[in-house]
Chain A
Amino acid sequence: DTEVTQTPKHLVMGMTNKKSLKCEQHMGHRAMYWYKQKAKKPPELMFVYSYEKLSINESVPSRFSPECPNSSLLNLHLHALQPEDSALYLCASSRRRGAGSDTQYFGPGTRLTVL
């Protein structure tokens, strides 16, 4: 199983809402990532979890709050977002070490619209 799943596929939220994005993988990967991708731009790294601990936070605003409850799950909690946060949010996973640890497997993404 080389699949990363993400829910929901689409999300529309107001600026005062609280919502969460979910990501799951069962490949035994111990590194998981959140990316934000705007139209016609490459993915921008937001967070990296390594062995369920946050290892990289790319100066992301606190209205985005990641959580890694176990080795298969990754959440991104959203609160008080701005319209400019509208984007495709991609989750990815990879091996933590060894051959191929740079290869990331991406989920299909959540298309987020903030009104």
Chain B
Amino acid sequence: EDKVVQSPLSLVVHEGDTVTLNCSYEVTNFRSLLWYKQEKKAPTFLFMLTSSGIEKKSGRLSSILDKKELFSILNITATQTGDSAVYLCAVSPWYTNAGKSTFGDGTTLTVKP
């Protein structure tokens, strides 16, 4: 059975800090790893990673995948209170039909002013 483990489960930082969120996975026939941000309602897409060692970047957020060690990290620099959310990691296998993603339990990030 596919498995995704995120750490830490929760994190409290102050504005301006840098944080690193971790996601390790076990999946048969790995295709992609995705990061989502969930505030009050729907998860919103952040990154999709398919290749090892290639950093994806969007503003203060960046992410990288290590397919040998089976993990990914999500970095957020110069955190702001608006970064407070649950960050979800999901993995998708190669699959004959539309994607069946397995989600981790998420990391709850709280950024204090």
- Enumerate chain A interface residues (CB-CB to B < 8 A): 4, 30-31, 33, 41-43, 45, 48-50, 55-56, 88, 90, 94, 96, 100-109
Contacts of B104 in A (CB 8 A): 42
Contact of A56 among B41, B44, B92, B97 (CB under 8 A): B97
The answer to whether B31 touches A102 (Cβ under 8 A) is: yes
B98 contacts across to A, CB distance below 8 A: 30-31, 33, 48-50, 55-56, 94, 96, 101
Q: B residues bordering A, Cβ < 8 Å?
A: 31-32, 34, 36, 41-45, 48, 88, 92, 97-101, 103-106
**In chain B, what residue has the closest Cβ to A50?**
B98
- On whether the beta carbons of B97 and A48 are closer than 8 Å, the reply is yes
A105 to B48, CA, bound (A): 13
Residues A104 and B99 in contact in the complex (CB < 8 Å), given A41-B105, A42-B104, A42-B106: yes
Output the least CB separation between A61 and chain B (Å): 19
Nearest opposing residue in chain B for A6, CB measure = B42
New contact pairs (9) apart from A56-B100, A102-B48, A102-B92, CB-CB < 8 Å: A43-B88, A45-B100, A48-B100, A100-B48, A104-B34, A104-B43, A104-B101, A109-B41, A109-B42
A33-B101 Cα distance, complex, nearest whole Å: 11
Given contacts A102-B32, A102-B34, A102-B92, contact A107 B42 (CB under 8 A): yes
Nearest to B89 among chain A residues (CB) is A42
Of the candidates B41, B42, B99, B103, the one whose C-beta lies within 8 Å of that of A102 is: B99
A90 touches B97 (CB 8 A): no
A50-B98, A96-B98, A107-B42 given; A43·B103 CB < 8 A: yes
Given contact pairs A42-B104, A42-B105, A102-B32, A90 touches B99 in the complex (Cβ within 8 A): no
Assuming the contacts A43-B43, A106-B43, asked whether A101 and B103 have C-beta atoms less than 8 A apart, the reply is no
B32, B103, B106: residue with the most chain A Cβ atoms closer than 10 Å: B103
